[in-house]
Structure 1
Amino acid sequence: MNVELPLIAVIAIFGYFGIKIMRPPTWLIVVLLLGGFLLADTFLAPAIESGTKAGVDVVNETGK
């Protein structure tokens, strides 16, 4: 059984509870968001994308 949920909703839920539980400083949140945004436009982007797809396949068990 696969559950269809937009990735942005999952990220928003994890982000909300992560901020509520861990209480990180605001500057750290900004640095992580900006760093991730800038990293997506580097030579590492294909490796990140393939790793993400492999992780989704493992979770959804579609690699069999």
Structure 2
Amino acid sequence: MTVELPLILVVALVGYFGIKLRRPPTWLIVVLLLGGFLLADTFLAPAIESGTKTGVDVIDKTGK
């Protein structure tokens, strides 16, 4: 049996349980969300995307 979940649902669940279990301060959550949103539309976006892809390749060991 295969279960398909949209990525946003998985991210929402991880975020929900992360907040419930780790209890970070509300201001930190707001700063990280707002900062990420604002950085996505700057000249830094390609560098962030490249760094993210490189990190995933290192973890998955597919970047040979």
Instruction: Using structure 2 for the length normalisation, give the TM-score.
Output: 0.68
Count of aligned positions: 59
How far residue 7 of structure 1 moved from its aligned partner, in angstroms, is: 4.9
How far residue 13 of structure 1 moved from its aligned partner, in angstroms, is: 4.0
Describe the shift of the 1:21–1:30 C-alpha distance in structure 2 as closer, same or farther (beyond 3 A). Answer: same
Percent identity reads 83
Greater relative contact order (Cα < 8 A, sep 6+): 1
How far residue 35 of structure 1 moved from its aligned partner, in angstroms, is: 0.9
Instruction: Using structure 1 for the length normalisation, give the TM-score.
Output: 0.68
Which blocks of at least 5 consecutive residues in structure 2 are unaligned?
Answer: none
Which whole-Å CA distance do the structure 2 matches of 1:56 and 1:6 have between them? 19
